[in-house]
Structure 1
Amino acid sequence: MDRIDSLRLFSVVAELESFTKAADRMGMTPGAASKQISALEERLQARLLERTTRSVRLTDAGQALLDRVRPWLIEYEAIENGLVTETGKAAGLLRVSAPVDFGAARLIEPVTAFMAKWPEVEIRLELADRMVDLVDEGYDLGVRIGHLTDSSLIAKRLAGACMTTIASPDYLGEHGAPVHPDDLSRHLCIIDRNKPAPNQWRYTRGNEIVEARVNGRLTLNGARAAVCAAAAGAGIACSPAWAAEQALAEGKVVPLLDGWEPDHRDLWAVFPSNRYLAHRVRLFVDFLVDWFKDGFEQGGAKR
């Protein structure tokens, strides 16, 4: 690791107050990060960080160094990104977070296509259904579906994500089909905890809006799991159309509530507010915008 990278690592450790988190962001082991900081302290003949089992804090010398090098590192990053932009090249590690089901079903293809176009970019794709803290956990970009609440992030809309209400023919044969959203309260509904309001399904028909309170015996987390449960006859599910398309095509489930539109959700690319956003991040966001410009309900854009 050269001296600039050592200073970068020191800055990240100071920001995150953790060798483990800093090492993950820099793509190295915590042990290697600790050794690099120790080497930096040896070279400067000053203790920069106070290490305990629970935290890492700056010493007075460390704070003085950070105050001097942070503006320089920002400027250096800007110069580096500017030169890369001028040459049109992209390189380095791109850390991306996405939901499990959507990431596996719809994001792998554009990720692979982007890597083919930019062979010097390495992508670390982490699939998780929890709300990932992009800044604290060191991600460059997050792909999210739904209504955004974190105002500290920059968001770029990629596409609309339509929802569909479904059930199996066997379930409908035994329980009948709802014709109005209010009827859902008398049915077994499959509750997906990944939704922001799992027990509140919102529908519109023209200017009419209905908030249906739903309940059921099965609660789970995941769009595909909800579709599979509906196909098995466990009840009625309201899931993203992309997750249900195969089951619908095979006749395992059928659409319900004709004329009523479930609450619409959007697909977003979100990233931390950063004056000097890395060129590879800008390129990937633009690539996703183009990839999903025709939507993704039927497999996404094809290349």
Structure 2
Amino acid sequence: MDRIDALRLFAAVAELESFTRAAERLGMTAGAASKQISALEDRMQARLLERTTRSVRLTDAGRALLERVGPWLAEYDAIENGLVAEQAAAAGVLRVSAPVDFGSSRLIEPITRFMAQWPGVEVRLEFSDRMVDLVDEGFDLGVRIGQLNDSSLIARRLAPAPIKVVASPAYLNAAGAPEHPNDLARHDCIIDRNKSAPNQWRFQRGDDAVEVKVSGRLTLHGARAAVCAAANGAGIASLPAWAAHTSLDDGSVVEILPDWAPDHRDLWAVFPSNRFLAHRVRLLVDHLVDWFSDGL
């Protein structure tokens, strides 16, 4: 039993004038309660309670201690109960970090739907393509795409995030369509510096794995910029399928090497710890799992 619990036991014995009833209130035996009070008296170097076979009374030292710690214990319990209630309630501030392109195009709608469902929650959504340190920077939740390397974070998979390789029909008519990933080394490829290895493109087909070193005249940051550049004939882009859907549908780009699967990626919700996780964070993670259950 820690010192706060010992003081709480002392206050209960003083209030109820009984070791037995105080022990019952705190879920312990009367013998254990008596030992804890004795240990507290040893630490205080004073006798706090007069014990008889029929009653328990405060000594002068005990009365002085209770006058000091009684209000403090009440305030401490109020703070503790308030924090527990806040953790359990679907209310309060949620700080969420996400990549710029994905966050601004695919995360706004589920976040606003969540806020409509839980009007007590305030969301502070911040977009950044750098690797944000959730703990040091005070974020409750991060949404990330790719492979996770930080083992200190708890991660929950939201959806697969496949990659597609695309180019405009005009570019392919002029430069020819690659028939094998190795052919990409001879093409103008759009280099996205947001990727961890922007010049190394990896492919898998069955048991065959290929890694190609690519180059190109255009270097940029972000999937939306890459698909726009590809649609304008700047070269071949490797980018998330969710970023290419509209351009594929309207025909401004076409998929190439469809039999070869580029690097597999996933969409994740990551957070610092499962222990003492605020209820509003759990609710948002569950909401995102449900929202992206049909994929991106």
The answer to whether TM tops 0.5 is yes
CA–CA distance in structure 2, aligned partners of residues 239 and 245 of structure 1:
11
Q: Which amino acid aligns with 2:281?
A: V
Mapping of residues 99-138 of structure 1, within 5 Å: 99-138=99-138
SS of residue paired to 2:216 = coil
CA–CA distance in structure 2, aligned partners of residues 152 and 85 of structure 1:
22
In structure 2, the partner of 1:155 is 155
Q: Which amino acid aligns with 1:114?
A: F
CA–CA distance in structure 1, aligned partners of residues 211 and 118 of structure 2:
46
In structure 1, the partner of 2:95 is 95
In structure 2, the partner of 1:268 is 268
Mapping of residues 20-99 of structure 1, within 5 Å: 79-80=81-82, 82-83=84-85, 89-99=89-99
Can you give the 5+ residue segments of structure 1 that lack an aligned partner in the other structure? 1-71, 297-303
Instruction: Give the C-alpha shift of residue 173 in structure 1.
Output: 1.0
CA–CA distance in structure 1, aligned partners of residues 87 and 271 of structure 2:
19
In structure 2, the partner of 1:199 is 199
Q: Is the 8 A contact 1:203 1:210 kept in 2?
A: yes
In structure 2, the partner of 1:223 is 223
- The sequence identity of aligned pairs, in percent, is 68
CA–CA distance in structure 2, aligned partners of residues 204 and 234 of structure 1:
25
The total of aligned residue pairs comes to 221
SS of residue paired to 1:102 = helix
Q: Which amino acid aligns with 1:241?
A: A
Q: Which amino acid aligns with 1:211?
A: E
Q: Is the 8 A contact 2:87 2:278 kept in 1?
A: no
Q: Which amino acid aligns with 1:124?
A: R
SS of residue paired to 2:280 = helix
Q: Is the 8 A contact 1:199 1:214 kept in 2?
A: yes
Matching of residue 237 in structure 1 with residue 241 in structure 2: no
**TM-score (structure 1 length as normaliser):** 0.70
**TM-score (structure 2 length as normaliser):** 0.71
Q: Is the 8 A contact 2:165 2:236 kept in 1?
A: yes
Per-residue CA distance 1:74-125 (angstroms, 9 max, x = gap): x966x55654676xx4000000000011011110010001001000000000
Q: Is the 8 A contact 1:185 1:213 kept in 2?
A: yes
The structure with the larger Rg is 2
Q: Is the 8 A contact 2:87 2:277 kept in 1?
A: no
Q: Which amino acid aligns with 2:280?
A: R
Q: Is the 8 A contact 2:97 2:139 kept in 1?
A: yes
Q: Is the 8 A contact 2:152 2:272 kept in 1?
A: yes
SS of residue paired to 1:203 = strand
In structure 1, the partner of 2:282 is 282
